[in-house]
Chain A
Amino acid sequence: MSIKDKVIDIIAEQAVLEPSDVSMDSTLESLGIDSLGLVESIFAIEEAFDITVPFNANEPEQSDFDISSVASIIAGIEALVAEQNA
């Protein structure tokens, strides 16, 4: 399974949706994922890829990790996984 598909699976499960309902330009807000849902998703992503996501819920804009859309989250994870494998 690709990183993209796995991340979409995790986000879909959190949003209680089918993966096909999650598009690349969806935002977490549009999927109905609140702040607790976000930290739970990040935990699930960290567990799935064994990475550490640099995200602080107090200042999401300041984090090195862009959560503005599903596409940006996937790009961020792909970069972290590549960094880890480097």
Chain B
Amino acid sequence: MNRVVITGAGTINALGHNVADTLEAMREGRCGIGALEFRDVDRLAIKIGGQVKGFEAEGHFNRQQMTLYDRFTQFTLMAAKEAMAQSGLEFHGELSAKAGVVLGTAGGGVSTWDANYRTVYEEGKNRVHPFVVPKLMNNAAASHVSMQYNLKGPSFTVSTACASSNHAMAQAFQMVRSGMSPAMLTGGSESMLCFGGVKAWEGLRVMSKDACRPFSANRNGMVQGEGAAIFVFEDYEHARARGAEILAEVVGFAMSSDATDIVMPSKMGAARAISGALQDARINPEQVCYINAHGTGTAANDKTECAAVADVFGPHADQLMISSTKAMHGHLIGGTGAVELLACIMALRDGVVAPTIGYQEFDPECALDIVPNEAREAPVEYALSNAFAFGGLNAVLALKKI
């Protein structure tokens, strides 16, 4: 089995349009959540989100590209560009034939669906633009990345709701670890912040109207975000041979399914994914210093997640740090695990643990060190990243400092 390292990272999200700005915001505990700005927002009950502001497709893409790229694809390509530039990799010949891109998204081109349904239903038009289908399909972003960077190996999109990115990155990890490919692009993207996207979530009554406060006793729901993060996963020997900068090592992962309920999380399912990731990485629970929590800020998730961590880690659960960065960038749904992996890289590489901001009241059901409100300097040797999706599909990644 090959060792797998991360040699490139890129992002665009509510905290920043690149990795440096995003990590600075995480260090400073800045909140990227604010008033939503789009058509018909006044008809929504939920009017806040972690929206990407100040980003215009013009200038980054030509006219033909803009007619083909939904916002989730635009985010993906912006993040991929940054990750590829950092990695210094170019795909030619045999490397190109073996390398691919595996991405997560839950909704794909939601705003394309939304805008065109509006055209035919609300405005009564009987004609839509011919690129509606290639623009909205869930694999559009992965396909455009493959075309942009000459990736001719395995490429596909994983859609497992809020665990999409972690499942996707787990696939890419497996491909590099097994020797199937020397390098893979991976991560995820989401852009559901449009009228129909938020309206659908409102229906479930799990959204907060004011803030995302993970683990806080007065938490009242999740807040949606949008954006993307893309990484280059590369065989360690391949990366070393070309003198690439290595950000962190991916050492293990596990997936599990609750097989119980379509929305309610299960402590057992989450615990099996966490302990499975430790086993796969061949590490002891005591070696884990930091967990980037799923930490959605809903009543159900946060207490279930804390109970699962307590079960897996026993007394060590009180020693480790666990924070949810969703209070800063919002819940990016299918893209969330990718953006949250940046917090793990920051912990491992820089020794800075991102805080859980918005924390106000102690909850005895979430009695762990959740790194409240302020980032903390601490050496972190191993970190985990949790994602627990609606539908009971869980995916946990294990990373190591390098």
List residues of chain A with CB under 8 Å of any chain B CB.
Answer: 36, 39-40, 42-43, 46-47, 52
A65 vs B67: C-alpha distance when bound (angstroms): 25
Chain B: interface size category: under 10
Q: Mark B38-68, 1 if CB is under 8 A from A, else 0.
A: 0000000000000000000000000000010
Residues of B within 8 A of A46 (CB): 127
> By CB atoms of chain A within 10 A, which of B127, B129, B130 has the most?
B130
Contact yes or no, A40 B67, CB < 8 A: yes
What is the minimal beta-carbon distance from A59 to any residue of chain B, in angstroms? Answer: 17
Residues of B within 8 A of A42 (CB): 130
6 nearest CB pairs, A to B:
A39-B130, A43-B130, A40-B130, A43-B129, A46-B127, A47-B127
Q: Mark out the residues of chain B between 271 and 330 whose CB falls within 8 Å of any chain A CB in the assembled complex.
A: none
Residues of B within 8 A of A39 (CB): 130
Secondary structure dominating the interface of A = helix
14 interchain pairs (CB within 8 A)? A36-B130, A36-B131, A39-B130, A40-B67, A40-B129, A40-B130, A40-B131, A42-B130, A43-B127, A43-B129, A43-B130, A46-B127, A47-B127, A52-B127
Secondary structure dominating the interface of B = loop
A36 vs B67: C-alpha distance when bound (angstroms): 11
Q: Mark out the residues of chain B between 21 and 47 whose CB falls within 8 Å of any chain A CB in the assembled complex.
A: none
Name the residue on A nearest B125 (C-beta).
A47
Q: Mark out the residues of chain B between 126 and 162 whose CB falls within 8 Å of any chain A CB in the assembled complex.
A: 127, 129-131
Residues of A within 8 A of B130 (CB): 36, 39-40, 42-43
What is the minimal beta-carbon distance from A69 to any residue of chain B, in angstroms? Answer: 21
What is the minimal beta-carbon distance from A32 to any residue of chain B, in angstroms? Answer: 12
Residues of B within 8 A of A47 (CB): 127
A43 vs B131: C-alpha distance when bound (angstroms): 10
Name the residue on B nearest A41 (C-beta).
B130
Residues of A within 8 A of B129 (CB): 40, 43
Name the residue on A nearest B129 (C-beta).
A43
Residues of A within 8 A of B67 (CB): 40
A40 vs B64: C-alpha distance when bound (angstroms): 10
Name the residue on A nearest B62 (C-beta).
A16
Besides A40-B129, A46-B127, 12 other A-B contacts (C-beta < 8 A): A36-B130, A36-B131, A39-B130, A40-B67, A40-B130, A40-B131, A42-B130, A43-B127, A43-B129, A43-B130, A47-B127, A52-B127
